[in-house]
Structure 1
Amino acid sequence: MTAPRDKLLLLDTASLYFRAFFGVPDSVRAPDGAPVNAVRGLLDMIARLVVDHRPTRLVACWDDDWRPAFRVAAIPSYKAHRVAREVPGTTGEEEVPPALAAQVPVIVEVLAALGIARVGVPGYEADDVIGTLVAREVARPAAQRAAVGVVTGDRDLFQLVDDAAGVRVLYPVKGVKDLTVIDQAALAEKYSVASGQAYADMAVLRGDPSDGLPGVVGIGEKTAAALIHRYGDLAGVLAARDAHDRGLTATQRQRLHDAAAYLEVAPMVVRVAPDAPIGDVHDALPHQPADPAALGALVARWGIASSVNRVLEALEVPRA
């Protein structure tokens, strides 16, 4: 009898706790009045994900650097509009609501006490952590490879979708009760691209104002997808540009020439790193808290018993 396949859930944690913060009323507070809506919302999301998807492995992926120097060096406008105004310099801290920023250390402590793996790497974003862990899983022999679900509200990670390798994105519509499964069929239906790699190439051409990526002027999503479909990939589009291929209009060819400097560096900004320096990750779903005493103290301090107990019940361990 074939053993059931492992399931690995990779959480784009900041994406989820931002959603929790804005989705759970700020009237949800600790005994001392401090807001804990993001903490409780994230824990409730994790409990729901574990119940609904029954992973055997789970990692809370972390932004140790939300605006890495290597991306800023390539494209200085990368996320520049999100830098907190009071922080000097071209890099700096992300502008985060103070009530949310105060909860992030609590989230760190609770995840540690529960024994849920949390992985970040200096100089890299959570997207890169996810990309690296996906690449590691895909590199395993097929018989040992887990089915991977990437839970994120960030479309950038659609580039990791790979049906053959069993990698899907679970995209929240409202909370995590209603997740849209993004596979290659969904990419074809929504964006007219055939694969995660094609999505990344399309995203380079299209750009993304929310990340400060200009794209190629005059080439929007539909045109970008059509060019990738016609020429196979971004390299094929650029080869057609240089060869004066008649499938490109004179205007498109000129716009691609005008954007040559951007197109030279944009792929390494848009594409997630597959090789961030991550050590061994102990990502097995815990069946008991790593530190019950610390967890009990956190529950009492922050008044989060109901949310912690939902996680423990999902993990099928005794209540806190």
Structure 2
Amino acid sequence: MLLDTASLYFRAYFGVPESVKSPDGQPVNAVRGLLDFIARLVQDHRPDHLVACMDADWRPQWRVDLIPSYKTHRLAAEATGNEEEIPDTLSPQVPVIERVLDALGIARVGCPGYEADDVIGTLTARAAGPVQIVTGDRDLFQLVDDDRAVTVLYPVKGVGHPQVTDNALLLEKYGVDGAAYADMAALRGDASDGLPGVKGIGEKTAAQLLQTYGDLAGVRAAALDPMSKLTPARRRNLVEGSAYLDVAPTVVRVAADCPLPAFDPVLPSEPLDPMTLEELATRWNLGSSLERVLAALAHP
């Protein structure tokens, strides 16, 4: 089981009241919410291995070099204090989350120059057995692979009742499977990530083009083929978007070859550092949330 950790603690932050605080009055809603999520996931799915994948770099320079607008609106939000960016009461909780995960002995893995999505992509590529990816980010649907038993648990109604995303569900909802999802995402773009997409092509049109021409290379070839059935406007938009389409797939696709550090992904049955964990529990008022995690870990 691979956790898109930032996605989950961000969801926890907004799902648990800020009135949940440490003894000195600091909010710990994201910390406790994430612990509750982990307890429920371990209880419901019983993974043998669990990795909390981290953003060592949420806006890698190699992606920005290819598409300069990549996540620029988030930089602007950060500079202006826009609430869409990480709220001030969330960012101080992240180091606490990291210390608690370390004391529990739950693997926490990031890679300099890469996002958590890339860590997840790399670990998925390496996996010898089934993989469950827990994320609220649809970009990771590109990793769904029925042949390798890779599914995404997408918490539409929380982690207790996630959407179990396989190829059948992707085909039903989006008209493409996991293998074609990144191509669809490149064509349609994503304003939230600063990806412009191709003019006039939304999600449904992108799916239709991929169904007709197979993949992004096939769509681009059709745009250059005067005998293809593309409308003149669509052909023109695809050709004019060539520079973007040259680089978009590299930006959109998660990396599968991050140079990850050595780590132990085995889910612990007891805390790695109980003394530190006890100190953290007292310092940050982790209470029943930590107790639920410990109970879930102790009952394989």
Is the aligned partner of 1:116 residue 2:106? yes
Is the aligned partner of 1:222 residue 2:212? no
Which region of structure 1 is more displaced relative to structure 2, 113-122 or 235-244? 235-244
Structure 1: runs of 5 or more not aligned: 1-8, 89-93, 138-144
* Matched position secondary structure for 1:73: helix
Pick one of 196, 205, 219 that aligns with 2:178.
196
Looking at structure 2, the residues matched to 136 and 96 of structure 1 have their Cα atoms a distance apart, in angstroms, of 31
1:259 aligns with: 241
How does 1:55-66 map onto structure 2 within 5 Å?
Answer: 55-66=47-58
How does 1:89-128 map onto structure 2 within 5 Å?
Answer: 95-128=85-118
Give every structure 1 segment of 4 or more consecutive aligned residues whose post-TM-superposition deviation is greater than 6 Å. none
1:249 aligns with: 231
Kept in 2: contact 1:60–1:117 (CA 8 A): yes
Q: Deviations over 1:153-198 (max 9, x none)?
A: 00000000000000000000122111001100001000011x2121
Is the aligned partner of 1:39 residue 2:31? yes
Is the aligned partner of 1:54 residue 2:46? yes
Change (3 A) 1:245 1:48: farther
Residue 34 of structure 2 aligns with an amino acid whose one-letter code is L
State the Cα distance separating 1:280 from its structure 2 match.
3.0
State the Cα distance separating 1:241 from its structure 2 match.
1.3
State the Cα distance separating 1:250 from its structure 2 match.
1.1
Looking at structure 2, the residues matched to 17 and 86 of structure 1 have their Cα atoms a distance apart, in angstroms, of 18
Looking at structure 1, the residues matched to 272 and 50 of structure 2 have their Cα atoms a distance apart, in angstroms, of 15
Kept in 2: contact 1:84–1:95 (CA 8 A): no
Is the aligned partner of 1:147 residue 2:130? yes
2:72 aligns with: 80
Kept in 2: contact 1:62–1:119 (CA 8 A): yes
* Matched position secondary structure for 1:149: strand
* Matched position secondary structure for 2:270: coil
Q: Deviations over 1:189-226 (max 9, x none)?
A: 00011x21211111110001111110001011111000
Count of aligned positions: 296
State the Cα distance separating 1:303 from its structure 2 match.
0.7
Q: Deviations over 1:220-250 (max 9, x none)?
A: 1111000001111001111111222422111
Is the aligned partner of 1:14 residue 2:6? yes
Change (3 A) 1:223 1:85: closer
Residue 150 of structure 1 aligns with an amino acid whose one-letter code is I
2:62 aligns with: 70
Kept in 2: contact 1:244–1:253 (CA 8 A): no
1:171 aligns with: 154
Is the aligned partner of 1:312 residue 2:275? no
* Matched position secondary structure for 1:170: strand
Looking at structure 2, the residues matched to 220 and 132 of structure 1 have their Cα atoms a distance apart, in angstroms, of 29
Residue 116 of structure 1 aligns with an amino acid whose one-letter code is I
Kept in 1: contact 2:200–2:237 (CA 8 A): yes
* Matched position secondary structure for 1:301: helix
State the Cα distance separating 1:96 from its structure 2 match.
1.4
1:140 aligns with: none
How much identity, in percent, do the aligned residues show? 65
Looking at structure 1, the residues matched to 227 and 166 of structure 2 have their Cα atoms a distance apart, in angstroms, of 32
Q: Deviations over 1:89-137 (max 9, x none)?
A: xxxxx93111000100000000000000000001100000000000111
* Matched position secondary structure for 1:150: strand
Which region of structure 1 is more displaced relative to structure 2, 94-103 or 206-215? 94-103
Pick one of 253, 257, 264 that aligns with 1:271.
253
RMSD over equivalenced CA pairs, Å = 1.4
Kept in 2: contact 1:203–1:270 (CA 8 A): yes
Looking at structure 2, the residues matched to 250 and 124 of structure 1 have their Cα atoms a distance apart, in angstroms, of 39
TM-score where L is the length of structure 1: 0.90
Looking at structure 2, the residues matched to 259 and 83 of structure 1 have their Cα atoms a distance apart, in angstroms, of 25
